[in-house]
Amino acid sequence: MKKSVTAYAPASVSNVACGFDIMGFAMEGIGDRVTVRFSEVPGVRITGVSGWGEGVALEPELNTAGPPVMALAERSGIKEGLEVEIQKGIAPGSGIGSSAASAAAAALACNELLGAGLSKRELVTYAIKGEEVASGATHADNVAPSLLGGFTLIRGYDPLDVIRLEPAVEIWYAVVHPGGGIETKSSRKLLPSLVPLRDVVTQTGNAAGLVAGLLTGDLALIGRSLQDVIVEPARAGTVAGFRETKRAALEAGALGCSISGSGPALFALAPDRHTAELVGAAMGEALERLSIPHSTYVSRIDPHGAVIIP
């Protein structure tokens, strides 16, 4: 029996413009690692957070890695205690699924350690419990891609219905993360509680169009569908350099560009590596001109999702 398991889970872009709370994709090349090990001390303890760990709570109820581990431990009825150690590769509050990645990696590692035998799809419901700590609302559009990889659709929440979309073309992303963070909880308060029916028609048309574009490999349709008339307008003001960065991305050839999750990161999609690199550079330069410190990530959609590290 293993005494310790480490899992990796990638960062993710949620909402993806027109898919508020329902769409997300996993980012290759950046993620969190979580180790779960048995302990003689009863209960679940977070024993360390390294990397981008500043400000991350150590109380298991307040750390997104805690609730999934507590729920899996309870489900398994184990008597031993569990220690959780987190290596954060993703800055908290960046808008690219930092809390989801810790929750996803914790769920996968704990599942393996306890021999619980749950599938990644089943683990989504456990990882969500961590996400609730961060956002104060149940949304699975970060934890689902972080666990399953690829591009995911949450068809519904009651019951949870996670669909993995298989794009007919390879999709690349560029993400820029301006320095600073936005708390998902407070960012959700900016959202309108009521939406004009006209905007609902526009949003459903774009969400349906994005799925059609992905599944048929119609890049132009993907681009036309990457529009958000509901959430982006409400949040754009909280994202430093939003207008300039988005314009730069589109001028550099991005299929589309919008806020990643609740921001402040922005994502853009591109049809190939070369374009994605140009787009990432252009977005970075736009922020430089505004003297806004930032990090840039360019890669493909991560096809694997969370993995156990041997």
Residues that bind a second copy (CB under 8 A): 18-23, 153-157, 161, 163, 165-166, 191-197, 200-212, 215-216, 221, 224-225, 227, 230
Q: Which CB atom, from 123 or from 210, has the smaller least distance to a second copy? A: 210
Rounded to whole angstroms, the Cα distance separating 305 from 110 reads 16
Strand order of the β-sheet with 172-178 is: 256-259, 266-270, 172-178, 294-300
Shortest gap between Cβ of 128 and a second copy (angstroms)?
Answer: 15
The residue written with tokens 């993806």 in the block is 16
Q: Which CB atom, from 58 or from 163, has the smaller least distance to a second copy? A: 163
By the 8 A CB rule, do 269 and 171 touch? yes
Residue 277 exposed, middle or buried by CB count within 10 Å (0-12, 13-18, 19+): middle
Shortest gap between Cβ of 224 and a second copy (angstroms)?
Answer: 6
Count the neighbouring beta carbons within 10 Å of the beta carbon of residue 179.
13
Shortest gap between Cβ of 124 and a second copy (angstroms)?
Answer: 15
Q: Which CB atom, from 1 or from 197, has the smaller least distance to a second copy? A: 197
Shortest gap between Cβ of 213 and a second copy (angstroms)?
Answer: 9
Q: Which CB atom, from 26 or from 207, has the smaller least distance to a second copy? A: 207
Q: Which CB atom, from 215 or from 308, has the smaller least distance to a second copy? A: 215
Rounded to whole angstroms, the Cα distance separating 99 from 141 reads 12
Q: Which CB atom, from 165 or from 250, has the smaller least distance to a second copy? A: 165
Shortest gap between Cβ of 32 and a second copy (angstroms)?
Answer: 26
> Residue 273 region, left (φ>0) first, then alpha (ψ -120 to 50), else beta?
alpha
Count the neighbouring beta carbons within 10 Å of the beta carbon of residue 79.
7
By the 8 A CB rule, do 10 and 302 touch? yes
Q: Which CB atom, from 7 or from 214, has the smaller least distance to a second copy? A: 214
By the 8 A CB rule, do 115 and 126 touch? no
Q: Which CB atom, from 62 or from 212, has the smaller least distance to a second copy? A: 212
Shortest gap between Cβ of 21 and a second copy (angstroms)?
Answer: 5
Q: Which two tokens stand for residue 297?
A: 């990530």
* Three-state DSSP string of 3-53: CEEEEEEEEEEECCCCCCCCEEEEEEEEEEEEEEEEECCCCEEEEEEEECC
Q: At what angle do helices 242-251 and 273-289 cross, to 10 degrees?
A: 150
Shortest gap between Cβ of 58 and a second copy (angstroms)?
Answer: 33
Shortest gap between Cβ of 211 and a second copy (angstroms)?
Answer: 4
